[in-house]
Chains A and B, each alone.
Chain A
Amino acid sequence: GAVVSQHPSRVICKSGTSVKIECRSLDFQATTMFWYRQFPKKSLMLMATSNEGSKATYEQGVEKDKFLINHASLTLSTLTVTSAHPEDSSFYICSAGLAWGYEQYFGPGTRLTVT
């Protein structure tokens, strides 16, 4: 149980375009989803916390107009990288939290490359 999927697993886009990444909890309802960014050989950096039906809470230094997060249902959250630039290239990972505990289950990640 507690499976989280992400789509796409890899995406290459041109500079200036927008990219949407989906995060789904497949076998449980996630009241809270989290979006992380990870650079090579580095730890996970929390970008934002997303609660179903409400606006996302962004961490300090994360541009909310650039990284649009929507949590439309208890099983789906999306991250849209708007007007992507090469410096946005990274590994983006989502996680979903169980309503009754601290456990977070991570998706497989999405490798974004902006050319």
Chain B
Amino acid sequence: QQQVKQSPQSLIVQKGGISIINCAYENTAFDYFPWYQQFPGKGPALLIAIRPDVSEKKEGRFTISFNKSAKQFSLHIMDSQPGDSATYFCAASGGTSYGKLTFGQGTILTVHP
């Protein structure tokens, strides 16, 4: 009920391409869905987040698509750059886990020049 399943585990994209990472959740009480970017040896950095009252949110090259009925959300990175190579985590929070984040398993993104 509390799990967030993330796929793929790893992703290789050419420079300029679109990177797509998907997450699915079970707990319908979740109402906050952030994405974090983590570089090796560093803490995660909040990238973009969405609440279920909207189906899409865009910030620069990063877009979250949210499908409430399917209980899925995804991160799209447009015009992917080598500097985007990092591990990306989706997460969810809400309901009885207010304030606590449940993380997905992570996706290692590699963008080739």
Contacts and interface: CB of A to CB of B under 8 A. Distances in A.
Contacts of B12: none
A106 B105 contact: no
A105 B89 contact: no
A26 interface: no
Interface residues of B, number: 22
Contacts, number: 55
B44 A103 contact: no
A42 B100 contact: no
Interface string B28-46: 0000101010000111111
A102 B94 contact: yes
Main secondary structure of the interface of B (DSSP, over half): strand
B100 A107 contact: no
B99 A97 contact: yes
A113 B26 CA distance: 36
Given A49-B99, A93-B44, A106 B36 contact: yes
B103 A103 contact: no
Interface residues of A, number: 24
Contacts of A43: 89, 103-106
Which of A46, A102, A105, A111 has its CB near the most chain B CB atoms (within 10 A)?
A102
Which of A6, A97, A104, A106 has its CB near the most chain B CB atoms (within 10 A)?
A104
A8 interface: no
Contacts of B49: 102-103
Contacts of A49: 99-100
A44 B93 contact: no
B43 A46 contact: no
Given A101-B32, A109-B43, 13 more contacts: A32-B99, A34-B101, A41-B106, A43-B103, A44-B103, A93-B44, A102-B32, A102-B101, A103-B49, A104-B34, A104-B46, A106-B43, A108-B43
Interface of A: 4, 6, 32, 34, 41-44, 46, 49, 91, 93, 95, 97, 101-109, 111
